[in-house]
């Protein structure tokens, strides 16, 4: 870290509680998710982001704040984050946040972030339930910060600079970005550590700060249902693809089979 900077590097990680299944059921009447009876977990990409922050903490003694917006039960993932090594936890919870789309969510989070000190903001790339990958980039826009999405690796350099490996469809890019900035991280970026037993023992003795809409710096019109321009027109469960056909043959024979199959379906 920059020696002239007296304070520790401050990292904020945005984490979301999600149902532990990729097969979300939608209530056909309301078009919203049915969350009852599903086990909730910390979103995998967010766990990757938290691990990235924890590695910076191991190396540079950074201070980590985790923040989530959600119902009171979302406290569970904040306790988990404490057991993994986070230093401070904030739960944004208020009826006024309810019914938020991605814009209202990112506005609420940005409102909270404005009240906090940070050098680095880390979000997951994408939540496995909402799946939009919009919240991180939107937060960066609200806060006027540089952002890098799809982060697979990172290195801290002097003078507040980060060298970042960003995944792309073709391969990866190496980028340099100045802090403060927003990163959205992939679950595959690293192997998340296990909670320690002593971490679990002390996680419930620590304070989870409860913040409501009055506590954050944002126009109330931008929150919850009121602040959500998205209207769900229709939602449906995607039909499952049938099981494929399996041929265990030599390469040459395989080519013949593929060609005839493609012709059969008028693809070629």
**Residue numbers at the binding site for ligand FAD (CB under 6 A):** 14-16, 32, 43, 45-46, 68-70, 99-102, 105, 109, 123-124, 126-127, 129-136, 230, 232
Q: How far is the CB of 101 from ligand FAD (least distance, A)?
A: 4
Task: Tell the smallest beta-carbon distance from residue 202 to other proteins (Å).
Answer: 8
Query: CB-side exposure of 179: number of CA atoms within 13 Å?
Result: 24
Residue 150 region by backbone torsions, left for phi larger than 0, else alpha for psi between -120 and 50, else beta: left
Biggest CA–CA distance in the chain, Å, is 70
Of 24, 161, 175, 195, the residue at the interface with other proteins (CB under 8 A) is: 195
Binding of other proteins by 73 (CB under 8 A): no
User: By CB under 8 A, is residue 79 in contact with other proteins?
Assistant: yes
Apex 103 CA angle, 97 and 105, nearest 5: 35
| Rounded Cα gap, residues 243 and 219, in angstroms | 50
* Closest of 88, 81, 116 to residue 208, by C-alpha: 88
Q: Is 198 in the site for other proteins (CB under 8 A)?
A: yes
Q: What are the two backbone dihedrals, phi and then psi, of residue 188, each rounded to the nearest 5 degrees?
A: -80, 0
| Least distance in angstroms from the C-beta of 207 to other proteins | 15
Q: From the list 80, 101, 119, 129, which residue makes contact with other proteins (rule: CB under 8 A)?
A: 80
Q: Per residue in 227-256, is it b (16+ CB within 10 Å) or e — as a string? A: bbeeeeeeeeeeeeeeeeeeeeeeeeeeee
Cβ-proximal residues to 191 (8 Å cutoff; 6+ apart), any chain: 51
Q: Which does 100 bind (CB under 5 to 8 A by kind): ligand FAD, other proteins, none?
A: ligand FAD
CB 205, min distance to other proteins, A: 10
Applying CB under 8 A, among 83, 122, 139, 140 the residue interacting with other proteins is: 83
> Does residue 201 bind other proteins (CB under 8 A)?
yes
Least distance between other proteins and beta carbon 79 (Å): 6
For ligand FAD, the closer of residues 1 and 100 by Cβ is 100
Tokens of 45: 């990409």
CB 268 to ligand FAD: min, Å: 37
Give contact residues for other proteins (rule: CB under 8 A): 76, 79-80, 83, 194-204
């Amino acid at each position: 870290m920059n020696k002239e900077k007296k304070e520790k590097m401050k990292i904020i990680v945005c984490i979301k509680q999600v149902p532990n299944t990729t097969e979300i059921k939608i209530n056909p009447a309301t078009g919203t998710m049915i969350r009852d009876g599903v086990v909730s977990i910390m979103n995998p990409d967010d766990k990757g982001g938290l691990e990235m922050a924890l590695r910076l903490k191991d190396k540079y003694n950074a201070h980590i704040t985790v923040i989530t917006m959600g119902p009171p039960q979302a406290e569970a993932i904040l306790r988990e984050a404490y057991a993994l090594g986070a230093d401070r936890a904030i739960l944004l919870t208020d009826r006024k946040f309810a019914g938020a789309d991605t814009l209202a969510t990112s506005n609420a989070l940005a409102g909270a972030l404005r009240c906090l000190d940070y050098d680095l903001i880390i979000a997951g790339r994408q939540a496995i339930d909402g799946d939009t990958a919009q919240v991180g980039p939107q937060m960066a826009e609200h806060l006027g910060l540089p952002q890098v999405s799809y982060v697979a690796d990172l290195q801290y350099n002097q003078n507040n600079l980060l060298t970042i490996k960003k995944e792309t469809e073709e391969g990866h890019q190496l980028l340099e970005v100045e802090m403060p900035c927003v990163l959205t991280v992939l679950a595959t970026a690293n192997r998340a550590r296990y909670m320690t037993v002593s971490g679990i023992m002390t996680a419930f003795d620590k304070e989870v700060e409860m913040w409501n809409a009055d506590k954050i710096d944002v126009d109330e019109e931008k929150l919850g249902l009121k602040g959500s321009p998205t209207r769900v027109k229709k939602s449906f469960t995607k039909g499952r693809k049938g099981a494929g056909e399996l041929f265990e043959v030599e390469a040459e024979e395989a080519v013949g089979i593929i060609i005839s199959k493609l012709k059969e379906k008028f693809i070629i």
